Structure 1
Amino acid sequence: MARRLPPLNALRAFEAAARHLSFTRAADELFVTQAAVSHQVKALEEHLGLKLFKRLNRALMLTDEGQHYFPDVRDALDQLDIATNSLLKADSSGVLTVSVMPSFASLWLVPRLQQFTQQHPDIDVRIAAYDSLADFDRDDVDCAIRYGKGKWDNLYVEHIMDDEMFPVCAPHYLERNPSVITPNGLQHHTLLHDYAVLSEAETWAYWLKHANITGVDHTRGPKFSHTHMAMQACLSGEGIALGHSSMISSELQTGRLLRLFNISVSSDMSAYFVCSQNGIERFKIKVFRDWLLSESA
């Protein structure tokens, strides 16, 4: 059977006014105007068909009906508060499922994940690495890291970092092939390709054109379905790849990869944090978002 419940805001206004025996103090507690409290109480009285207050010149008193109703409403709101706090506390721990592209997960997220775990030991991150975009209404996913232009309707979207492309190789490859020290020397070397690129700016053809380099056959060389596979081949010394600044900062800092030339191309794609519009209010999602932003700063 359907419950015949009054609006929650009206109940909150009545409980505060009954506890203080003052619309003014109730308004201060609820951060609304005195008129708003009076309006909510009047709406509740009309809903019930009963008078709950006696409005005197300089005082406010409960009617017999109001005195009977007040303790039950107070207890009900207290129970609702307890239930809500319990739910939010439970959401501060447990599993957090993050949807992310396989390459971004492998090259950037996973190597840093231990730092998040150390800061939030009660949250167990589960990485769902897929090329397809998660559907927050259908899939068991809490939040996502997406690579694109940030145009996803009806979702909470926050920019994490921009991306640039530039040639990189492993140190031992450079030792074996000193002729690569100039851009024109690329014609004598193996180019590694990621054929699942989302933008023309991520291709060798675009970079070579931007760098005004001719005589290099950009169609030759091994091709990989994911960026992290091309980077692994690069780390193994199999050739020269176009590195994403958003994914290989650690490899550059540790010297596992070397940037060859001071010529880069800005991608029209960036990394974004994404979740449902209401999801950003959840504790686990919010702290993960905050950690992402601090790591990418």
Structure 2
Amino acid sequence: MKNLRAAIGTPSAIIAFEAAGRHMNFSNAAGELNVSQPAISRQIRNLEAHIGRPLFIRRGNKVRFTEQGQLLFEATKESFRNIIAAVEQIADAAYDRTIKLQSQPILLSTFVLPVMVELQRAFPDFFIDIQASENDVPVDDERPTIAILYGDGNWPGMRSELMFSDIYFPVCHPLLLKGMRSADPADLFGRLPLLQVPNFIDPWMEWRRWGEHFHIKGLMTKRPQFINDYEVLLQACRSGQGIAVGAVHLVREALAEGSLVRITELTVNSDFGFHFVYDPRSLQKGRFADVLSWLRDRAEETRQRCQAMLEDDHVRWQPR
């Protein structure tokens, strides 16, 4: 039995023939395949020469099959249909084994990426696609998606589960405190520059709110340096440019490595936090529920580590 190349010559010729036969127009076939019309004509002439029989009867711009061309087209059409169906079946199977993880870049880098190796090891037959997105990007409801979003838990049409609530406290680079002799908040905030994210969803990110709550006048009148991205704000804070409101789950590693320190005992518990957000229909797909459960466990471990961090005296600054 001949192989395909021996029977038809180049595979591109049979692709051109099938497209031309389906359209009954060489120009339309060329447009579909993104080649020129002469290229289609040349491929079909080569195929006819290889087979030794004409496949089309050409009359100006119109074509129709010869008897041999009709026979070959019926076989080609059925074969191509089977190939397309098989490819779609394979793609659907891969699609069913893919889960998208969607979140802001800062949380991907602090929570998702550190556990990715373990996650892939736990689910070796699954593909985990990571997508960095803004917090207000809609959750994909066409494919299984676990979004990690910041807010109050209200995402209409979606199910949300609290990962961990935010706990806030002031932080800065330790060198910024060089020469400071007092841990009095009024003195610290009065002398050191402030960094702030404007228009943040949680009002506790505003220094004015801290001033009103803790009765620190300097925080109600002093203008902070505004930076509209929290990850960039933390980079500025770690480089010694000012004091920032630290969210414990996002500054934990910086506290552990010593690039940030807590500067006072002032702490607030937020009504906002990070949530797993997903379409509840996804729970019926593949091992979506198992992956979600695995991530819940990792979130609980992170919450416990953060709680331990809050009780660690080594991450607090003490005046000398």
Checking the alignment, whether the CA contact within 8 Å between 2:158 and 2:278 is kept in structure 1 is: yes
Question: What displacement does 1:219 show?
Answer: 4.8
Asked whether 1:235 is paired with 2:238, we answer: yes
Partner deviation per Cα, 1:9-66 (whole Å, 9 max, x = no partner): xxxxxxxxxxxxxxxxxxxxxxxxxxxxxxxxxxxxxxxxxxxxxxxxxxxxxxxxxx
Checking the alignment, whether the CA contact within 8 Å between 1:98 and 1:142 is kept in structure 2 is: yes
Asked whether 1:182 is paired with 2:172, we answer: no
Partner of residue 262, structure 2: 259
Cα 1:219–1:280 change in 2 (3 A) is: farther
Partner of residue 105, structure 1: 108
> How far apart, CA to CA, are the structure 1 residues paired with 2:222 and 2:287?
45
Question: What displacement does 1:156 show?
Answer: 2.0
Which of structures 1 and 2 has the bigger CA Rg? 2
Tell me the matched-pair count: 209
Asked whether 1:136 is paired with 2:140, we answer: yes
Cα 1:215–1:225 change in 2 (3 A) is: closer
Partner deviation per Cα, 1:141-190 (whole Å, 9 max, x = no partner): 7120111111223222111101121101122323x352563211211101
TM-score under structure 1 normalisation?
Answer: 0.61
Q: What fraction of aligned residue pairs are identical, expressed as a percent? A: 24
Question: What displacement does 1:111 show?
Answer: 4.0
Question: What displacement does 1:265 show?
Answer: 1.5
**Helix, strand or coil at the partner of 2:116:** helix
Write out aligned runs for 1:135-214 (5 A).
135-137=139-141, 142-174=145-177, 176-179=178-181, 181-184=183-186, 185-214=188-217
Q: Using CA pairs below 8 Å that are at least 6 residues apart, which structure has the higher relative contact order?
A: 1
Checking the alignment, whether the CA contact within 8 Å between 1:99 and 1:128 is kept in structure 2 is: yes
Question: What displacement does 1:267 show?
Answer: 1.5
Cα 1:153–1:187 change in 2 (3 A) is: same
**Helix, strand or coil at the partner of 2:128:** strand
Partner deviation per Cα, 1:230-267 (whole Å, 9 max, x = no partner): 11111111111001123222222333321111211221
Long gaps (5+) in structure 1? 1-85
Partner deviation per Cα, 1:184-229 (whole Å, 9 max, x = no partner): 1211101111114102122111122222212235552321111111
Long gaps (5+) in structure 2? 1-89, 301-320
- Moved runs in structure 1, 4+ residues, more than 6 A? 86-89
Cα 1:118–1:195 change in 2 (3 A) is: farther
**Helix, strand or coil at the partner of 1:267:** strand
**Helix, strand or coil at the partner of 1:206:** helix
Partner of residue 62, structure 1: none
Measured on the aligned residues, the alpha-carbon RMSD in Å equals 2.8
Partner of residue 116, structure 1: 119
TM-score under structure 2 normalisation?
Answer: 0.57
Counterpart amino acid of residue 206 in structure 1: R
